[in-house]
Amino acid sequence: MATGRSASMPSRLRQLLPGEGSIGPSIRLDAEPPPEIKSFIEKVIQSPLSDIAIPLSGFRWEYSKGNFHHWRPLFLHFDKYFKTFLSTRNDLLLSDHILEDEDPFPKYSLLQILRVMQIILENCPNKSTFDGLEHFKLLLASTDPEVLIAALETLSALVKISSSKLHRSGKLIGCGSVNSFLLSIAQGWGSKEEGLGLYSCVVANERNQEEGLSIFPSDLENNHKEADFRIGSTVYFELRGHSAQRIDDGTSSASSSSSRVIQIPDLHLRKEDDLVLLKECIEHYNVPPDLRFSLLTRVRYAHAFRSSRICRSYSRICLLAFIVLVQSSDAQEELASFFANEPEYTNELIRIVRSEEPIPGTIRTLAMLALGAQLAVYSASHDRARILSRSSISFAVGNRMILLNVLQKAVLSLKISSDPSSIAFVEALLQFYLLHIVSSSSSGSTIRGSGMVPTFLPLLEYTDPSHLHLVYLAVKALQKLMDYSSSAVPLLRDLGGVELLSQRLELEVHHILKLTGENNSDMVVGESLDINGDQLLSRKRLIKVLLKSLGSSTYTPGNANSFLVIIFQVGRKDAETFFLVSLVSDNAGIQTQTLLFATPALGNREKEAVYRTTSNQLSAPVELR
């Protein structure tokens, strides 16, 4: 009766049910996209190709869980754009006529296309059929840092290994011939042994930024800056097996060796742009086409020291390229080469994350994402695990505790700062620990929750809407931790975690009722979810994981038929009072079922509560208000 009754309820109440589309629909493999997606794609395709940025500029995700097959016509249209406007550009092909393009570089349109591609790829799990990687070899040859960052962020969305793929149920995606380009970019300024490690270059740039604000910089700082710039701004490039000249400090001389060297110091003092410098090298050294991208990359990094802003952009580019490379499923050779040159790279990333130096939040966040990418790959791929095990990668207790201390400080900082980079940094840390919990369970390792539980719980009290996804990640991590660690459940109970979960669940239910348009008497609203749509979907997702976490936190192994009962009075209409009842069953893992029923209107509003019950008894409730 309850089930039948729920089917006829107003849409805004049916949307609260976990099985009802909005909260977590399964992917449909229909070739025909939904009308709203089809309408958007037709609008883009019908616009002139040269004006493609106009219909794309307002795009945002409004479609719940995505199906990549629905978006294939749009991606084919993007492919047409790339072939029309990029495939013949001399500056991207690195041809002999590199400075002779007649048309201006279509930067704005490219940024809009890449932004839309990234959003779609982030929201579509079935993206393994993506085709169009050859265009990214051209995009990665751009000398505009914004285009490089956008291209790498799009590739990162394509290859990202989520926690659901850690048990090898998801298909990993490779970047094919783009991998060699990624390796060249990921190597950054050079190796740590040369004094050009990632941490050194990042810190040198930030110190230079600070010194620019200082009236009396010290001689010691000047000496350090000069030495760092001298090393970092020098192009040193070997032309193995190719006939070339050697130029050192502006003078040329012939050499008969089969390995010739390009060495150009102090590129940070040169005013020409990157392509002019590359053309000079091509002409003077007769650089063959297959080595031009690698040489361009050396030129771009060395020349970046001319500006703190540009140098910071290339720090981001370096990290993003590594994040893509390490997750690309067919980059074993490139990754082995990378770690052979930089065996301490993981420790470099940890140094950036924990450093007390004034490193920008965006750089710290990317370093944390790079650590998470390594952890995901280590767990998801046997071949990649063997490569990483030969490097200095270590997520031993010491490093995990260091990162946990960083997370504790970052969570506390959210109370006094709404800086987006701070929020993104906490998100990256939470994603890392969620991956750690899930990957440890899949490998059979023992997980200790003594440090994680008290670190995650405070986020349950953060009510700022901009922190909603952080709360979700914290609750998800707690739920997984309780499922996999026997010590986590009693610890969470002792710390008042059940009450915090219950209070947050109550808060989210009432937020959803408010967002879906409840007023004093009429509970019926329209079907549209356009108003506050993003927040509504986020809150429903949070409710689902809160229900599962409450089930885990109150589960008693001895009670085989135990289940959790959560009762909410959600509103009234006419002479009836509506209640939302969630049953969280423990029989075969944590499963949720939500029912809706009505009774004659009550004189006094009953308290909403959480009950743990079995077939024989009803325990004392944890009251929600």
Residue 23 DSSP label: G
Query: What gap in Å lies between CA 425 and CA 410, rounded to an integer?
Result: 8
Tokens read off for 495: 């710390």
Q: What is the mean pLDDT of the chain?
A: 78
Residue 589 DSSP label: B
What 3-state DSSP class applies to 278? helix
- What does the pLDDT look like over 516-525, one tens digit per residue? 654 333 433 3
- Residue 584, phi-psi category: left (phi > 0), alpha (psi -120 to 50), beta (remainder): beta
Q: What number of H helices and E strands is found in the chain?
A: 26, 9
Report yes or no: 123 and 66 within 8 Å, Cβ to Cβ. Answer: yes
Q: Where are the alpha helices (DSSP H) in 124-257?
A: 134-139, 145-159, 179-186, 198-211, 219-232
Tokens read off for 441: 């369970």
Task: Name the β-bridge partners of 623.
Answer: 609
Tokens read off for 617: 């008894």
- Residue 589, phi-psi category: left (phi > 0), alpha (psi -120 to 50), beta (remainder): left
Handedness of CA 469, 457, 394, 172 (dihedral sign): negative
Instruction: Report whether pLDDT(505) > 60.
Output: yes
- What does the pLDDT look like over 12-64, one tens digit per residue? 434 444 444 333 344 444 568 889 999 999 999 999 999 999 999 999 998 87
Sheet holding 563-573, edge to edge: 591-600, 576-585, 563-573, 609-613, 622-623
- Phi, psi angle pair for 271, to nearest 5°: -90, -15
- Nearest-5° angle of CA 34, CA 40, CA 42? 95
Residue 587 DSSP label: B
- What does the pLDDT look like over 242-283, one tens digit per residue? 554 444 444 444 444 456 899 999 998 999 999 999 999 999
- What does the pLDDT look like over 533-579, one tens digit per residue? 677 778 888 988 898 888 888 766 655 555 555 555 555 445 444 45
- Phi, psi angle pair for 393, to nearest 5°: -60, 130
Residue with tokens 């400080």, as numbered in its chain: 409
Give every CB contact of residue 478 below 8 A, 6+ residues apart in sequence: 453, 456, 457, 488, 492, 497, 549
Task: Name the β-bridge partners of 622.
Answer: 610
- What does the pLDDT look like over 577-593, one tens digit per residue? 445 555 555 544 445 54
Report yes or no: 577 and 599 within 8 Å, Cβ to Cβ. Answer: yes
- Single-letter amino acid code for the residue at 158: L
Give me the mean pLDDT over the 479-500 stretch.
89
Q: Quick one: what percent of the chain has pLDDT higher than 70?
A: 69
Domain edges within the chain:
29-124+128-159
- Phi, psi angle pair for 441, to nearest 5°: -65, -40
- Single-letter amino acid code for the residue at 302: A
Q: CA gyration radius for the chain?
A: 28
Rounded alpha-carbon distances, angstroms, from residue 288 to 34, 93, 143, 352, 463 = 49, 13, 19, 37, 58
At residue 205, the pLDDT reads 77
- What does the pLDDT look like over 592-603, one tens digit per residue? 545 444 444 333
Angle between helices 497-515 and 468-484 (to 10 degrees): 140
Angle between helices 308-327 and 361-380 (to 10 degrees): 10
At residue 63, the pLDDT reads 83
Query: What gap in Å lies between CA 371 and CA 368, rounded to an integer?
Result: 5
Rounded alpha-carbon distances, angstroms, from residue 602 to 13, 254, 605, 610 = 20, 97, 7, 20
If you count them, how many residues does the chain have? 625
Higher pLDDT, 583 or 186: 186
Query: What gap in Å lies between CA 481 and CA 438, rounded to an integer?
Result: 8
- What does the pLDDT look like over 460-484, one tens digit per residue? 999 988 899 999 999 999 999 998 8
β-strand pairing of 576-585 with 622-623:
unpaired
Q: What is the CB neighbour count within 10 angstroms for residue 251?
A: 7
Q: What is the CB neighbour count within 10 angstroms for residue 344?
A: 18
Task: Name the β-bridge partners of 260.
Answer: 239
Query: What gap in Å lies between CA 408 and CA 278, rounded to an integer?
Result: 46
- Single-letter amino acid code for the residue at 324: V
Choice among 114-128, 133-147, 212-226 with the minimum mean pLDDT:
212-226
Query: What gap in Å lies between CA 163 and CA 435, rounded to an integer?
Result: 6
Report yes or no: 321 and 191 within 8 Å, Cβ to Cβ. Answer: no
Query: What gap in Å lies between CA 90 and CA 99, rounded to an integer?
Result: 7
